[in-house]
Structure formats: structure tokens, C-alpha cells
Structure 1
Amino acid sequence: MNDDDVVQSFLNEICCTFPEIKLLMDDQDESMTTSKMEAFADATCTAFANGNIGLAQKYLSYMEQKLIDVHPKEFEFIDVYYVEHLFWQASRATKEIGWPLIPTKLKTLYLNFHGTIAT
């Protein structure tokens, strides 16, 4: 499978696992797979902001589990387009709610890029 196929399969898996995310991804340009993953990160923060902590934790747990046996291209999408994008333009309150709930591996990726906790 080439990298584009791996990415499409990954995004499809996310949409099958979380049907509500498909609408957000469909709002992105079809060729902008990176924006589709960023939309998933945004949905995670929106869930925190709306008090839907359980849903946000499901998204985060899914991504944390993907890191166990991940294709390098999937890793890139998790690291660069999901984790690095988490909390982008989020309110301080959303960051305070969400940061303690980020699983360890995702938190490490976030800190490796941003160098500091989300506050």
C-alpha cells in the first residue's frame, strides 16, 4: 500500500469508528488530508469545550491505541496533524480541562513539538 492509500484508509477508519467526524472531514477539500486530520483534533477540543469529556477521551484513546502498531505515515498524521494541532486556538478553560486528560504517548508528542504544556 502506498502512503496515500495508507492515509485514506486511516481517515476512513476514523470516520467508521466515529461517524460524527465524517461530516467534519467532508467539509475539507478532498485532497487536503492533513486538514481532515486537523478537523479531528478540532473535534476533540470542541468536545472538551462543550463538556463532552467522555467523547473527547474516546477520540484520544483511539489515537493513543493507534500508536501501538502504527504505519510511519499514520504516525506522521497523528503527530503532526492531530497532536500538534490539539488546542490550537482553544480557550484557556478548554486547555485546563483537556490537558490533564491527554494520554501519555500523545502528551509526549505534544511536548516534543511545543516544548510546554497546553495552557
Structure 2
Amino acid sequence: MAPLGATATATDARTVNGSDGAAVIDTLTRALTLILLAVAGVGVLGGVVLETHERIRDPGVHKALGTAPLQTVTLVLVSVVLPGLAGGAPGVPPGLAVHRAVMPAMGDSAGPPLPEVVLDVHRTP
């Protein structure tokens, strides 16, 4: 109960004890995610270019045999997507484990402990 004459103030749900730590960590996490996606996208693009360059004769042979352009593009995409999924799927569990280790450490260094809503972003289906 507030003493007589005290004023009440409303705070954002992400603000803890007057600290914007959760908002800062959200912003940092979003920025790091965008950087990671950009680096991964450039890596995939480089892999596609190298794969196509190494197999430059294959699209020519398929075209000579009468393959439609869409089928040629599908062949190239399948040759990249399947190895990408096979390589990316084993990386998901360690990525989740690293998230659970790094986020609390970031929160502890920023000030008060992070609320569970910030830490529990990956739910098991």
C-alpha cells in the first residue's frame, strides 16, 4: 500500500526496477539475428554459385535433352536445399542449448535477472 500523497506510476512490462535491460537485450538479439541471417544468406549464395559453376555442363545437357527452364532451376535448387537441410538440422539442438546458456549470461551482465518471457522463446511443439 502506497503512503498518503505518494504517486503511482505505470511502467512497461519489459522494464524491471526502472531498467530497460530486457528491451536492450531484445534489440541486440534482433540485430545479431539479422547479421547472422545475412552471413548465412551470403554463404548459401556462394555455395549455389560454386555448385552451379562446377556443374555448368549439367544444365546444358539437360537443356539439350529438352528440359524446361523451370525444371533446370528446380534441379539446381534441390541440389542445394537437400544438403543444406541435412547440415542444418543437426545444428538446431546445439543452437537452442547455446541460446539457453548465452541469454541468461547477457541478462546477468546487464543488471537484474531476465524475466522468463525473454528466455523462453523456443517452445517444443
Would you call these one fold, judging by a TM-score over 0.5? no
Task: Select the structure of larger CA radius of gyration.
Answer: 2
TM-score w.r.t. structure 2 length? 0.30
TM-score w.r.t. structure 1 length? 0.31
